[in-house]
Amino acid sequence: MVSTMRASESRPAAVSQDAPVKLTIRDLTVKYGGTPALSGVSLEVREHEIFGIIGPANAGKTSFLKTLNRMDVFDSNMHVEGEILFNGRDIRRWRNIYALRSRIGVVFPLPVGLPLSVYDNVALAPRLSGTNDKAELDIIVERCLTRAALWDEVKDRLSSLGSLLSGGQQQRLTIARALSQDPDLLMLDEFSIAVDPVTTMRIEDVLKELRQDMTIILVTNLVQQARRLADRTAFFLDGECVEIGITEDLFTGEIKDQRTRDYVEGRFG
């Protein structure tokens, strides 16, 4: 059985349970048209925490991420209710959603290498926020690509198209791009779906490093990935947050809800 596999030894110690709160979500409900995608989700994410979200398809995981950076504004079909406090401020009252989004990095399930050069992919976010100084951009690009464990592979072809890199490289490019925003919060949505196992492990190592500088929300359909990385994990099912707990507890039997147990142990419908 999968869940008996040992978690990675290098797993960092969990963030203490009294670390400051980064994100508070109260009674979050999302509807597409009339169809509910999330109903009444409440949870807290602490600073420098890696917060895992697991659950089957259609559980509302992606909708959850989309509400956090106000993508509902660009989707007239999407209706959000509830309260989201980011650094203590209600994000629905942020006057400038672009400023909010620039502080939240997002990595998608499928890598999105923009049809720009590798360099321009990473320099895009700084340029959007007004950094045009070549020397400064050079530093940002190198730093972000290095942190995303991609620099060595692309440093000699920074001017070739980002969309021509391999899938695993493009996913690391996407991470480098998210890092170039210098985000407070990094959200990863099933980042390893189109990535080979070796690259997945490299990215997981990168995430362990990154947590020192930011809070990470990791949506994953790999239960073991949550186990390897997340301090706490929430289990979403059918738009509902069934259970939230210290990740390791989910695997050692301290589970309150039978549905969570079934999912974690791979016995799900």
Q: Which is nearer to other proteins, 10 or 159 (CB)?
A: 159
The Cβ-side half-sphere exposure at 13, using a 13 Å CA radius, reads 2
Q: How far apart are CA 70 and CA 94, in angstroms?
A: 10
Q: Judged by CB under 8 A, does residue 113 bind other proteins?
A: yes
Number of residues forming the site for other proteins (CB under 8 A)? 32
Q: Which is nearer to other proteins, 149 or 178 (CB)?
A: 178
Q: Judged by CB under 8 A, does residue 104 bind other proteins?
A: yes
One character per residue 54-93, x = contact with other proteins (rule: CB under 8 A): ---------------x-x--x-x-----------------
Q: How far apart are CA 1 and CA 266, in angstroms?
A: 8
Q: How far apart are CA 121 and CA 135, in angstroms?
A: 16
When binding is defined by CB under 8 A, the residue of 161, 193, 201, 246 that contacts other proteins is 161
DSSP for 77-125, please give it.
Answer: TEEEEEEEEETTEEGGG-S-HHHHHHTEEEE-SS----SSBHHHHHHHH
When binding is defined by CB under 8 A, the residue of 99, 136, 252, 254 that contacts other proteins is 99
Name every residue whose Cβ is closer than 8 Å to that of residue 63 and which is 6 or more positions away in sequence: 30, 32, 37, 38, 78, 239
CA 138, 142, 144, 145 dihedral sign is positive
Q: Judged by CB under 8 A, does residue 169 bind other proteins?
A: no
Q: How far apart are CA 265 and CA 221, in angstroms?
A: 13
Q: Which is nearer to other proteins, 40 or 167 (CB)?
A: 167
Cβ atoms of 258 and 250 within 8 Å: the answer is no
Structure tokens belonging to residue 104: 């939240």
Q: Which is nearer to other proteins, 14 or 112 (CB)?
A: 112
CA 180, 182, 23, 96 dihedral sign is negative
Q: Judged by CB under 8 A, does residue 177 bind other proteins?
A: yes
- For residue 258, the one-letter residue type is Q
Q: Which is nearer to other proteins, 44 or 120 (CB)?
A: 120
When binding is defined by CB under 8 A, the residue of 2, 27, 98, 138 that contacts other proteins is 98
Q: Judged by CB under 8 A, does residue 108 bind other proteins?
A: yes
105 - beta bridge partners? 186
Q: Judged by CB under 8 A, does residue 157 bind other proteins?
A: no
When binding is defined by CB under 8 A, the residue of 101, 172, 211, 227 that contacts other proteins is 101
Q: Judged by CB under 8 A, does residue 194 bind other proteins?
A: no
Q: Judged by CB under 8 A, does residue 199 bind other proteins?
A: no
Q: Judged by CB under 8 A, does residue 129 bind other proteins?
A: yes
When binding is defined by CB under 8 A, the residue of 2, 5, 128, 139 that contacts other proteins is 128
Q: Which residues contact other proteins (rule: CB under 8 A)?
A: 69, 71, 74, 76, 98-106, 108, 110, 112-116, 124-125, 127-129, 161, 163-164, 174, 177-178, 181
